[in-house]
Amino acid sequence: MHALGCYHGSSRDDDAAVDTGVGSEGGSSASESGSTGDAPTEDVAAGPTGLRLLTPTQYKNSIIDVLGDVAAPAVGQWRSSIAAAQGGVAAAGVEDYEEAALAVTEEIFADPTKRMAVTGCTPTASADDPCVRTVIATLGRRAWRRPLAEDELARWTAVVASTATLLDGDAWLGLQHGVAGLLQSPNFLYRVELGTPVSPDDPLLVRLDGYELASRLSYLVWNTTPDDALLDAVGDGELDDDAGIQVQIDRLFASPRATDGMVQLFVDMLDLDALLYLQKDAALVPAFTPTIGPAMREELVRVIADTVIEGRDVRRLLDTTEGHVDAELAALYGIEGTFDTTFTPVPLPPGRGGLLTLAGFLAINSGEASTSPTIRGLTIRRMVMCQDIPPPPPDVEADLPEPGDGTPMTKREQLEQHVTDPTCAACHGFMDPMGLALEHFDALGGWRETDQGLVIDPSGDLDGVPFADAVALGSLLAEHPQTGDCVVRNLYRYATGHIEQPDEQPTIDLTYAALVDNGHDLTLAVDALVRSESFRHAKLSEEDAP
């Protein structure tokens, strides 16, 4: 590692990972523990826990998995797992949840065919109707990710009956409202991860119960609520030991839905949902349209999905030669051929290769009209390598000076002060060269041969290792240990809903080792993480102990 000491955060070399000696075979972890309730014999490092609000995507996915095929909206303000674990719901959010719950249940219950497919029986408005009880119990278990207690069942079957009475005795309407209520309950909207104390000596260390663990698994791999098979497995005690957990992990990864969770990890990590709100200055970036941001996101999702399937090498994300385009993206990339609104895999045109050269990454890391090599470089350090660069000193004017006499300058020329002034160079030396490598791509991610008629020089160095252009930079980053570390770090955050603390580093290390030892197959890193104690426990703060 370089000794300039500007960035901080983690630094990774492969020797350290190998030293942990964690192999790729299941069940060999030294820290594994047996059935639920066994106190670990050593200190368990784990993060805080509590209520984890569903992200909008998780909300949508979960509704569909509770009710079946409905037009569920993505509701919620906190779109990453980390933010949702801390963010709250205000009045406007409550209204959104109510409106959505009433709409999706109406879609089912106003349709005689659809509602019979969901319920399998015809309800009556009586207080102890067995059909109502069965429907509430079945849908409630899916929605709340655990069986309802008897008092909860009584409460919600009573709501069905009393609501039916208010609505002219219409039992179907009563049931619709009851189900809509299950979907507004905090037991649905939050993933409740409270655990139970491992030992009376340490009331702050808790172990997640089987249902809570099933939720973690399901949202991690499928980004949705646990399915009936997983909940059945918990009920049968199968998640009480490692072998049973492994059976379920294997089952989840055997499904095509496994890409949903793994893609979401990268959507969180790179903040790709910003593409849903992409804005460019229409006067200066005429190729911008309201649909192009979502199209860029779709390409990234498809490229990511290609690299996170079992047996694939996740590093290919950084140097893939394949993109996915619809007509709009094909035009932006200058790819000849006939395209429509569907996405087609295509070889990327010359000059492009890997995540950094895809339009979505370039567009969200640019200004509204012009590129910013510093922002692009900073994003690569922060979000791709998990290294942070401190902010500029407070007395620095961060806006680039405009050329005094109107003479065109390249960004490299404008940023010259970052190289010549030692105060700037200490940090900008880490950011600008990588950003300048991407100068052939404009603020929307389109290719440009020149900048204001001037020649673009995309060469530079990554911590002293030279590269010729953006594609070569992608190849360097793909092989860089720090990028694998960063994926694992984000995997840990995504799975547990918090930023890792120093004492959790051993879990990051063993997960990283599993990634490296298994040909960078991300699914096997997930296996290792799930086997760790950190995944199965949480530590309450003194203040937060109930």
3-state per-residue secondary structure call for 176-211: HHHHHHHCCCHHHHEEEECCEEEECCEEEEEECCHH
Q: Which of residues 243-272 bind other proteins (CB under 8 A)?
A: 268-269, 271
Query: Among residues 93 and 235, whose Cβ is nearest to other proteins?
Result: 93
Query: Among residues 143 and 245, whose Cβ is nearest to other proteins?
Result: 143
Q: Tally Cβ neighbours within 10 Å of residue 116.
A: 12
What is the C-alpha to C-alpha distance for residues 372 and 378, in angstroms, rounded to an integer? 10
Shortest spacing between CB 78 and other proteins, in angstroms:
4
Q: Does 150 bind other proteins (CB under 8 A)?
A: no
What's the longest Cα–Cα distance across the chain?
84
Q: How many residues does the chain have?
A: 546
Q: Does 30 bind other proteins (CB under 8 A)?
A: no
Q: Does 68 bind other proteins (CB under 8 A)?
A: no
- Cβ-in-10-Å burial (0-12, 13-18, 19+) of 241 comes to middle
Query: Among residues 334 and 394, whose Cβ is nearest to other proteins?
Result: 394
Residue entry with tokens 């075979």: 25
Of the candidate residues 64, 167, 335, 426, the single one contacting other proteins (CB under 8 A): 167
Shortest spacing between CB 192 and other proteins, in angstroms:
7
Of the candidate residues 20, 32, 36, 51, the single one contacting other proteins (CB under 8 A): 51
Q: Does 92 bind other proteins (CB under 8 A)?
A: yes
Q: Which of residues 174-233 bind other proteins (CB under 8 A)?
A: 177-178, 180-181, 184-187, 189, 192, 194
Q: Tally Cβ neighbours within 10 Å of residue 42.
A: 9
Q: Does 294 bind other proteins (CB under 8 A)?
A: no
Please enumerate in sequence order all residues whose Cβ is within 8 A of that of 246, keeping only pairs 6 or more positions apart, or say none.
26, 27, 527
Shortest spacing between CB 209 and other proteins, in angstroms:
12
Q: Does 152 bind other proteins (CB under 8 A)?
A: yes
Number of residues that bind other proteins (CB under 8 A): 74
What is the C-alpha to C-alpha distance for residues 153 and 156, in angstroms, rounded to an integer? 5
Shortest spacing between CB 138 and other proteins, in angstroms:
18
CB 506 within 8 A of CB 529: no
Tell me the three state secondary structure of residue 450: strand
Query: Among residues 274 and 287, whose Cβ is nearest to other proteins?
Result: 274
Shortest spacing between CB 260 and other proteins, in angstroms:
18
Stretch that binds other proteins, among 115-123, 207-215, 275-283, 312-320 (CB under 8 A): 275-283
DSSP tag of 449: S
DSSP tag of 137: H
Shortest spacing between CB 422 and other proteins, in angstroms:
19
What is the C-alpha to C-alpha distance for residues 403 and 311, in angstroms, rounded to an integer? 52
What is the C-alpha to C-alpha distance for residues 361 and 74, in angstroms, rounded to an integer? 23
Mark 305-344 with x for binding to other proteins (rule: CB under 8 A) and - for no binding.
----------------------------------------
Pull the structure tokens for residue 292: 């192009």
CB 153 within 8 A of CB 187: no
Query: Among residues 49 and 61, whose Cβ is nearest to other proteins?
Result: 49
Shortest spacing between CB 141 and other proteins, in angstroms:
15
In terms of C-beta distances under 8 Å and separation of at least 24 residues, what long-range contacts does 465-468 make, across chains too?
467/437
Shortest spacing between CB 91 and other proteins, in angstroms:
4
Pull the structure tokens for residue 41: 């014999």
Q: Which of residues 354-393 bind other proteins (CB under 8 A)?
A: 368-369, 378, 382-383, 388-392
Stretch that binds other proteins, among 26-34, 75-83, 213-221, 444-452 (CB under 8 A): 75-83
Query: Among residues 513 and 540, whose Cβ is nearest to other proteins?
Result: 540
Tell me the three state secondary structure of residue 49: coil
Of the candidate residues 150, 283, 422, 502, the single one contacting other proteins (CB under 8 A): 283
Q: Which of residues 100-139 bind other proteins (CB under 8 A)?
A: 102
Shortest spacing between CB 162 and other proteins, in angstroms:
6
CB 324 within 8 A of CB 302: yes
Q: Which of residues 388-417 bind other proteins (CB under 8 A)?
A: 388-392, 399
Q: Which of residues 482-521 bind other proteins (CB under 8 A)?
A: 498-499
- What is the gyration radius of the CA atoms in the chain, in angstroms? 26
CA 464 to centroid of chain Cα atoms:
32
